Amino acid sequence: MVHLTAPHHRNKNSARAAAHRAMAIAALQSNSSLKVRFRRYNAHMRKANALSRTANVISRHQEVTS
């Protein structure tokens, strides 16, 4: 029997970053104009990158304090 598990993320920020990356890909595949698709893609990727940077800072801080 195969058990599917959710991906393990370091924290909520990295999980949210992964969600924004998925939304960015979905934005490219939507039925909208090219301009709208790229605007949505870029907005989601900016959020994903910011959340990833925050997650990295938090994990480094936790490593130092441990």
Angstrom distance (rounded) from CA 28 to CA 2: 32
pLDDT digits (tens, 9 = 90+) for 16-61: 999 999 999 999 999 999 999 999 999 999 999 999 999 888 888 7
Would you say 30 and 37 are in contact if contact means Cβ atoms under 8 Å apart? yes
Q: pTM for the whole thing?
A: 0.77
Domain ranges of the chain: 12-65
Whether pLDDT at 66 is above 80? no
Between residues 66 and 29, which one has the greater pLDDT?
29
The closest alpha carbon to 51, from 11, 23, 24, belongs to 11
Higher per-residue confidence, 56 vs 11: 56
